[in-house]
Structure 1
């Protein structure tokens, strides 16, 4: 917190005012010619937006690139000596426009959604290994991702797994280790598509 002296100088009184974890900004005293407080003026620009709370990733438009959704918490903002009010923190969406590199999206369906046996319907807890020659060097690279039921504080990524394949036109193998213990392998899958893999029966 900065306290102005009326002559263009400011003193940092953050510790003295016990405001070490603020979630808003009040510009009421910045413009003496406009004493009305405008809640929108509490926001500086994209560089300062309260208290970030969650970040989730997902291919929202199905173009094979990962997009990001970020949220901020509601924070108490001091309006006057008698009121404290809440203003919603902004929501940010970053849509990726990357155009290079191949990709593969994998969605799992466990047998519990099919016949009540095996792994849970969303495959949460499964481990997926994708092997491909991503740099066209003749040597394969294996990427490993887990299907999780949580991702970040107050947010969750899409449960579809996204794999960047670089120059690889196909995936050599997809290996799924299901929570039930079943190990399932698919071979020679074309790049640039979303594939759904159903758990096989034991």
Structure 2
């Protein structure tokens, strides 16, 4: 289920509008994460699936081992499943999943744990000609990793917002760096960081293809 934050403490179920209901109905989801799979500037969705009952096939029209799913953001508040095209053909009973740029090429890879099977490392090579910017926050007055800091990246009229988090998936912790897809842009015009301490930090004309180390102002 996808709940859209309407503001003022109210959420609305947008699962059907986002085209996520039908393709996910037959599966039991565990680890999930939004991330920019193809570095086009909007966040896609990965879901790790697997049933909880290893004999479920005896009682229901479903399976214990299930395929993981990847949904590409269409840029118009909807998602399209691209699992097969992305190479997610393995059928296992997945649980935890974590994001991290394991090969430091700018696009996020995925680590997935499974029941009674080896974990999987899914290497992402979708970046191609598209650019990225990663931000690594280092807290001084705030906590060491800057968890809770809000990062705003503006490229032309396009604005992206992320919050520094370490969890957010099932029994997993993500890469502490925060990744932004910049598409074909060679730089981010502005990077703004609002720290948990209340301090605000800004960088201008930040070149793409790098990890920006941002230390909280003293």
Q: TM-score, normalised by structure 2?
A: 0.59
Whichever structure has more strand as a proportion of its residues is: 2
The CA RMSD over aligned residues, in Å, is: 2.5
2:188 alignment partner, one of 168, 171, 195: 171
Question: How much has 1:149 moved relative to structure 2?
Answer: 2.7
The Cα shift of 1:55 comes to 1.2
Can you give the 5+ residue segments of structure 2 that lack an aligned partner in the other structure? 1-55, 66-88
Q: Deviations over 1:76-118 (max 9, x none)?
A: xxxxxxxxxxxx322111111221201101000000xxxxxx1
For 1:157, which of 159, 174, 181 is the aligned residue?
A: 174
Indicate conservation of the 8 Å contact 1:52/1:72, yes or no. Answer: yes
Supply the distance in 1 between the matched residues of 2:57 and 2:183 (Cα, whole angstroms).
52
For the structure 1 residues 21 and 183, does the alpha-carbon distance in structure 2 shift closer, same or farther, using more than 3 Å as the test?
same
Larger radius of gyration: 1
Whether the 8 Å contact between 2:57 and 2:64 is mirrored in structure 1 is: no
Q: Distance in 1 between matches of 2:105 and 2:171?
A: 26
TM-superposed CA distance for 1:157, in Å, is 1.1
TM-score (norm: length of structure 1): 0.63
Deviation of 1:177 after TM superposition, in Å, equals 0.6
Structure 1: gaps spanning 5 or more residues = 1-11, 24-45, 74-87, 112-117, 134-139
* Count of equivalent residues: 140
Matches within 5 A, 1:62-81: 62-73=104-115
Match for residue 216 of structure 2? 199
